[in-house]
Amino acid sequence: MEPTNMDFSGDWNEHDADFFKKLFCSLPGIIYVNKFDRPGDINSFRNIWINQRGLDFVGYTQEEVYCLGIDLFREMIHPDDMAKMLDSLTSVYSSGSASFVAPILRVKPKGQENYSLFYCSKIVQETFSDGTLKQVVVNAVEITNHDQQLIIALKGIRRLNKNLLSTLSEREKEILQLIVWEKTSVEIAALLFISNATVKKHRDNMIQKTGVHNSAGLVKLAVESGEY
């Protein structure tokens, strides 16, 4: 399979699609589109489009970027940050929703030793029937040695996390606070006069709504939001 142009689905005509392609090529960030061919199969993960700014940074052609697949990211992203990358790829999202994930990653170009710091805003375009990622658009903005930009990026993460937490019910927020306070399910059930099964159900619902993988992810999200 050859690398493709960006998939501009919907009701846009050819003129609209051309406009957005030119726009994405001119914006200050590195904008790219990643896609899975098969649900959950990391080996089927490919970059199908990247703007010229991105190609200049990575030091590869579009065809080379496509053929490298997930190996491109393993080569470029700091090993300690790859877990964030993989988490965002393997999360389950509400079908058809525009879900945002905004990690800060250390990235280096081809043949370089030094890493640059990037703030990555991601919008899930499409999911498979099981809710796993199919296609995502990413805007990566370098924030290396730019304290003000880093502050803005961190504020952006806080805002996005608050938006995710706003989808929780009042009872779920109450339980999340107790989880942050390191209360066990048994302790939470006793404090709220509910069953352990009900606590588990609320926790599972929160994990599904926010796109994290476990209770630790819920705690991280809550703390980074500044609300807990």
Looking at the fold, whether 19 and 103 belong to one and the same domain comes out as: yes
Query: Which residue in the block uniquely carries the two structure tokens 């809550």?
Result: 222
Q: Do 32 and 138 touch, CB atoms closer than 8 A?
A: yes
154 occurs within a structural domain: no
CA dist., res. 214 & res. 207, Å (int): 6
Kindly tell me if the per-residue pLDDT of 97 is higher than 60: no
Q: What is the pLDDT of residue 90?
A: 79
Instruction: For residue 212, give its domain range.
Output: 170-225
Task: Return the half-sphere exposure (C-beta side, CA atoms, 13 A cut-off) of residue 15.
Answer: 0
The mean pLDDT value of the chain amounts to: 80
1 occurs within a structural domain: no
- What's the rounded mean pLDDT across residues 5-34? 60
10 Å CB burial of residue 128 (0-12, 13-18, 19+) is middle
Q: What is the CATH number of the domain that holds 219?
A: 1.10.10.10
Where among 145, 178, 208 does a domain terminate? 145
180 or 143, which is more confident? 180
14 or 41, which is more confident? 41
Looking at the fold, whether 45 and 113 belong to one and the same domain comes out as: yes
164 occurs within a structural domain: no
For residue 141, the cross-strand partners are 119
Where among 145, 160, 193 does a domain terminate? 145
164 or 188, which is more confident? 188
Q: How many CB atoms lie within 10 A of CB 124?
A: 22
Looking at the fold, whether 101 and 206 belong to one and the same domain comes out as: no
pTM: 0.58
Which amino acid appears at position 227 of this protein?
E
